[in-house]
């Protein structure tokens, strides 16, 4: 006797609830229901799904084939039949079933998701991405996702993270939650986890263009240009006119030193989007790096003309060290900065731009006020703890003893190619780089991210499971592993080398934190410490708005402590590796350029070349905030600029202590 409709429905619901955790039990219950009521389509669907979940796609396919023959107009049956055929690697038949499903029911989201995965397996990129785009359009976001979107848009990162982690705990394969959580991690500059989340989302949903673009942006934030290009090339094959993809591609070219390609890309974009202020701003950045200052100024001005509220363009203009903004510019910026609807990041841009404008006009009290406001806004968004840097220095001192380093003599890759310039930003490192890059045997590249990336892989960052493992993790590396790290670095850096010169420069300042690792993996590399007096260096960092990172620079106390930690760490390596690091003090370079350059070249085992003294004639691409300054002869203006702000630098002097004396460091 067949069961009543109500009891059968209840049994079916209970069996379906078991499908994920106990598919065999679900199959038994479905079989019993079908024995009692052979025409129960829902029970047959459940039986097919349970057989597939039990690892018997052949039996499942027989069930779904019979259902599809009996109900040819059912989109859901076609979907399940397609899934089962795909599980048997019968791709052509699966494709036919899934396409039939979306013909019957164009808004069936799961069918589009399966189609995307099937297209990915067969290498049909565009079809894969089109299908996933349709799925993403149809899939209804869970409340966790909706709430997290609102929290993220309002800068409430902790709330967004909690909601997204809860969602992933409940649904570990939710690719939308993964991508959004990666956004949160990237905003905090926790890039390793962001990359892992995006990689997993693309493994599960290869056609997820938004995740691929987000990954390209995360890589750009870390200056990993070589890894960006394949992602962007695929995105552009799918959507060749996309403004965001093309703009990011131009940025990747720029990072690789392919400035002409970057400029060409931006010029074509300006033909297609002449009214887009952001493209004009990026064009200004690229022109600035190429040393085409008048055109860069015109590009920034055009961006401002198109969008007077565009704080980033105003800051780009103000940040040109040789440009002075006039009273009309100050009035225009003040008018925009007073708007209540400005996003926080835009307000920061205006504050730093106004600080520079008032500084140029000699009005140092309002200048400092604007610098302080901009820094306070940035500091409020940071999760920076000064103790972390101090503890990191202590761990370096504990690990890198004379005995530890001596026991590893001869380890690493013996290539003499790299010249590392380390130190703090705004220390004269770009000047040292320009001097060296003017030598016939040295190529200037840029601030390369690969040492930092390696340190992160070795456990530089704290995890939810415990404190950072690096640098102590270096002690467990074998001779072979250390050598492989050096080889990998040289391979990665090679993408930025555009000439056949014997040496290249890596000017990432914060590599001073990894001198021990560099020494082990590249024992013949040169390491140059570009040093500037404490007050001058620290205040120059305080008034510089860094678009990414450098969280230590947004309070006078933080930057003072960081400078002390930097000096302490470099003194340690002077003691355990005497003569390994060559120090160039900015003040000495200004006072005696020829003498300091000769000593620098001697350390690098390079013959003296007079062109190094005429570094300002070098037309090379310069991609730092000092790009204009190193294209003119050496000047002494910057040595004492901090004195204009001395009335407000008491907290910095107190933290620096004896290092506030310009001769102490």
CA distance readout (Å), 113 to 68, 99, 120, 600: 20, 12, 11, 60
Q: What are phi and psi of 56, to 5 degrees?
A: -120, 70
What SS3 class is residue 592?
Answer: coil
* Residue 7 pLDDT greater than 80, yes or no: no
pLDDT of res. 126: 86
CATH topology match: 5-138 vs 152-381 = yes
pLDDT at 247 over 60: yes
**Start-end of H helices in 273-401:** 277-289, 293-306, 311-318, 327-337, 344-360, 364-381, 386-399
Q: Domain 152-381, CATH 3.40.30.10 — does that match?
A: no
What is the edge-to-edge ordering of all strands in the sheet holding 442-446?
442-446, 503-506, 418-423, 526-531, 581-585
Phi, psi of 37 (to 5 degrees): -145, 85
Question: Please, how many CA atoms are within 13 Å of residue 333, restricted to the half-sphere of its CB?
Answer: 28
In this predicted structure, which of 14-18, 48-52, 538-542 has the lowest mean pLDDT? 14-18
Chain-centre distance for alpha carbon 127? 29
- Helix (H) / strand (E) element for 228: namely helix 225-238
CATH class of 386-461+470-634: alpha beta
Q: Which residue has the tokens 């399940």?
A: 80
DSSP string spanning 94-140? HHHHHHHHHHH-TT-HHHHHHHHHHHHHTT-HHHHHHHHHHHHHHSP
- Which tokens in the block code for residue 126? 């565009």
Is the pLDDT confidence value at 263 over 60?
yes
Predicted local distance difference test score (pLDDT) of residue 1: 41
Q: For residues 189 and 221, what is the distance between their CA atoms, to the nearest angstrom?
A: 8
> Residue 253, SS3?
helix
Instruction: Pick the closest to residue 197 from 228, 210, 381, 550 (CA basis).
Output: 210
**CB burial readout 22-36, b (16+ within 10 A) else e:** bbeebbebbbebbee
Pairing of strands 503-506, 581-585: unpaired
From the candidate CATH numbers 1.25.40.10, 3.40.50.970, 1.10.10.10, 3.90.1150.10, the one assigned to the domain spanning 5-138? 1.25.40.10
pLDDT of residue 248: 95
| Mean pLDDT value across residues 272-288 | 94
Pairing mode, strands 526-531 and 418-423: parallel
Asked if 479 contacts 413 with a C-beta cutoff of 8 angstroms, the reply is no
H helix intervals, 382-449: 386-399, 402-406, 429-437
Can you read off the two tokens belonging to residue 656? 């620096």
In 3D space, the residue among 533, 528, 534, 507 whose CA is nearest the CA of residue 626 turns out to be 507
For the chain, the structural domain boundaries read 5-138, 152-381, 386-461+470-634
Name the DSSP class of 290: T
422-426, 467-471, 578-582: least confidently modelled range:
467-471
The H or E element spanning position 583 is: strand 581-585
Compute the mean pLDDT over every residue in the chain, rounded to the nearest whole number: 89
Angle subtended at Cα 556 by Cα 654 and Cα 635, rounded to the nearest 5 degrees: 100
Structural tokens at position 276: 């887009």
Peptide bond into 586 cis (omega under 30): no
Q: If residue 128 lies in a helix (H) or strand (E), which one and from where to where?
A: helix 125-138
| Pair 98, 115: CB distance under 8 Å | yes
Please report the pLDDT score of residue 665 as a whole number: 67
Helix (H, G, I), strand (E, B) or coil at 531: strand
Q: Residue 613 gets which letter from DSSP?
A: G
For residue 417, what are the contacts with CB-CB under 8 A and spacing of at least 6? 490, 502, 503, 504, 525
Over the stretch 323-357, which tens digit does the pLDDT of each residue have? 889 999 999 999 999 888 888 889 999 999 999 99
Share above pLDDT 90 across residues of the chain, in percent, rounded to a whole number:
58
Q: How far is 84 from 103, CA to CA, in rounded Å?
A: 19
Cα gap 553→366, rounded to integer Å: 20
What are the tens digits of pLDDT across the range 552-607? Answer: 999 999 999 999 999 999 999 999 999 999 999 999 999 999 999 999 999 999 99
pLDDT-based confidence at 501, cuts 50/70/90? very high
Tokens of 47: 């039986």
Rg (CA), the chain: 30
pLDDT tens track for 230-240: 999 999 998 99
Question: 112-121, 392-401, 463-472: which has the minimum mean pLDDT?
Answer: 463-472
The tokens describing 172, both together, are 């570990």
**Which residue is associated with the tokens 């002075």?**
324
The whole-number pLDDT of residue 57 equals 81
User: What's the pLDDT band for 627 if we cut at 50, 70, 90?
Assistant: very low
């Amino acid at each position: 006797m067949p069961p009543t409709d109500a009891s059968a429905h209840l049994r079916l619901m209970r069996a379906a609830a078991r499908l994920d955790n106990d598919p065999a039990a679900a199959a038994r219950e479905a079989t019993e229901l079908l024995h009692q009521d052979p025409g129960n389509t829902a029970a047959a669907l459940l039986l097919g799904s349970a057989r597939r979940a039990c690892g018997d796609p052949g039996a499942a396919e027989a069930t779904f084939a019979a259902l599809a023959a009996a109900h040819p107009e059912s989109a859901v049956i076609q979907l399940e039949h397609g899934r089962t055929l795909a599980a048997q690697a019968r791709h052509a038949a699966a494709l036919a079933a899934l396409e039939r499903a979306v013909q019957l029911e164009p808004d069936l989201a799961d069918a589009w998701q399966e189609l995307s995965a099937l297209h990915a397996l067969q290498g049909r990129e565009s079809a894969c991405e089109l299908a996933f785009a349709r799925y993403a359009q149809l899939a209804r976001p869970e409340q966790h996702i909706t709430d997290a979107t609102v929290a993220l848009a309002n800068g409430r990162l902790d709330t967004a993270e909690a909601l997204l982690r809860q969602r992933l705990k409940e649904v570990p394969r939710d690719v939308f939650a993964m991508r959004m959580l990666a956004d949160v991690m990237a905003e905090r500059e926790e890039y390793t986890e962001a990359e892992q989340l995006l990689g997993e989302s693309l493994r599960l949903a290869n056609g997820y263009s938004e995740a691929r673009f987000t990954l390209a942006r995360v890589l750009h934030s870390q200056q990993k240009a070589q890894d960006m290009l394949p992602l962007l090339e695929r995105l552009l094959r799918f959507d060749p006119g996309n403004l965001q993809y093309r703009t990011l591609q131009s940025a990747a070219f720029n990072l690789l030193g392919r400035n002409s390609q970057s400029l060409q890309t931006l010029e074509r974009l300006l033909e297609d989007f002449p009214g887009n202020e952001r493209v004009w701003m990026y064009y200004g950045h690229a022109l600035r790096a190429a040393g085409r200052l008048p055109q860069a100024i015109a590009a920034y001005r055009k961006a401002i003309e198109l969008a007077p509220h565009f704080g980033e363009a105003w800051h780009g203009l103000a940040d040109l060290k040789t440009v002075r903004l006039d009273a009309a510019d100050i009035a225009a910026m003040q008018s925009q900065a007073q708007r209540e609807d400005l996003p926080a990041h835009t307000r920061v841009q205006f504050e730093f731009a106004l600080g520079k404008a008032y500084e140029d006009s000699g009005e140092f009290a309002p200048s400092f006020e604007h610098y302080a406001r901009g820094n306070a806004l940035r500091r409020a968004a940071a999760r920076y703890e000064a103790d972390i840097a101090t503890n990191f220095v202590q761990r370096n001192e504990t690990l890198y003893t004379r005995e530890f380093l001596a026991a590893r003599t001869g380890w690493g890759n013996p290539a003499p190619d790299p010249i590392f310039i380390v130190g703090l930003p705004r220390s004269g490192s770009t000047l040292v780089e320009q001097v060296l890059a003017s030598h016939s045997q040295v190529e200037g590249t840029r601030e390369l991210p690969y040492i930092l990336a390696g340190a992160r892989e070795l456990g530089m960052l704290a995890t939810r499971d415990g404190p950072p493992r690096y640098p102590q993790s270096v002690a467990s590396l074998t001779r072979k592993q250390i050598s492989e790290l050096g080889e990998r670095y040289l391979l990665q850096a090679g993408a930025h080398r555009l000439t056949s010169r014997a040496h290249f420069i890596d000017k990432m300042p914060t590599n001073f934190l990894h001198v021990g690792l560099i020494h082990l993996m590249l024992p013949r590399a040169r390491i140059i410490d570009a040093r500037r007096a404490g007050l001058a260096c620290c205040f120059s960092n305080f008034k510089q708005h860094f678009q990414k990172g450098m969280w230590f620079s947004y309070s006078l106390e933080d930057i003072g402590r960081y400078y002390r930690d930097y000096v302490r760490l470099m003194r340690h390596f002077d003691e355990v590796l005497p003569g390994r690091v060559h120090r160039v003090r900015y003040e000495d370079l200004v006072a005696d350029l020829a003498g300091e350059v000769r000593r620098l070249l001697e350390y690098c085992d390079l013959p003296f070349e007079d062109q190094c003294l005429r570094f300002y004639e070098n037309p090379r691409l310069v991609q730092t905030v000092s790009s204009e300054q190193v294209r003119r002869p050496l000047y002494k203006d910057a040595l004492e600029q901090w004195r204009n702000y001395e009335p407000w630098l008491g907290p910095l002097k107190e933290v620096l202590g004896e290092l506030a004396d310009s001769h102490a460091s």
